[in-house]
């Protein structure tokens, strides 16, 4: 049971990405078929696909950070001694965390303080607050994954050096 819970938490973003990607691709495919064959379009299909794509991107970024597969330039660190390399990577992760915390603050303020409570999506008719909720969620989860990955890397390095 503990193994299943750990696997689920470690792959949380992956599962959400799979659902988001599958759902918006299927809806877009159906919408294209309906439009070209029956000259009808799903009114909310395009809007849902855009929002699902944005959620997919944020959770995908979080999963990439967890797997240490995110876009970052680290070639210059390969020339350094291992300790200097790890310090440089840690400093770059700290800068990334600071960036995320700043954006987390502004996105939280935008979603929960400044957003118009009556602002609704045009065709889905759901409050935009729920759609923009991905901003604080995304920056929070990415920050947690960056910290988690850095700690795991440092533990592995410590074990390797023993």
For the chain, what is the mean pLDDT?
89
Is the per-residue pLDDT at 26 higher than 90? yes
Confidence bin at 154 (pLDDT 50/70/90): confident
Mean pLDDT over 11-26 rounds to 94
pTM confidence score: 0.86
**pLDDT (tens digit, 9 = 90+) per residue, 72-125?**
777 788 888 888 888 888 898 899 999 999 999 999 999 998 888 788 999 999
The DSSP secondary structure of the chain, one letter per residue, reads: -HHHHHHHHHTHHHHHHHHHHHHHHHHHHHHHHIIIIIS---TTHHHHHHHHHHHHHHHHHHHHHHTT-S----GGGGGS-HHHHHHHHHHHHHHHHHHHHHHHHHHHHIIIIIS-TT-B-TTT--BHHHHHTHHHHHHHHHHHHHHHHHHHHHHHHHHHH-
**pLDDT (tens digit, 9 = 90+) per residue, 46-55?**
999 999 999 9
Q: Residue 162 has what pLDDT?
A: 66
């Amino acid at each position: 049971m503990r193994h299943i819970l750990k696997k689920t938490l470690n792959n949380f973003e992956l599962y959400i990405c799979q659902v988001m990607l599958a759902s918006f691709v299927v809806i877009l495919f159906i919408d294209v078929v309906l439009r070209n064959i029956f000259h009808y379009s799903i009114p909310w299909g395009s809007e849902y696909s855009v929002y699902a794509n944005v959620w997919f991107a944020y959770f995908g970024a979080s999963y990439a950070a967890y797997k240490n597969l995110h876009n970052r330039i680290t070639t210059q660190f390969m020339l350094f001694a291992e300790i200097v390399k790890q310090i440089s990577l840690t400093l770059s992760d700290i800068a990334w965390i600071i960036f995320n915390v700043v954006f987390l603050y502004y996105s939280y303020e935008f979603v929960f303080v400044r957003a118009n409570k009556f602002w609704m999506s045009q065709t889905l008719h759901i409050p935009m607050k729920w759609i923009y909720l991905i901003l604080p969620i995304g920056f929070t989860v990415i920050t947690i994954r960056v910290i988690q990955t850095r700690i795991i890397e440092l533990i592995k390095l410590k074990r390797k050096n023993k």
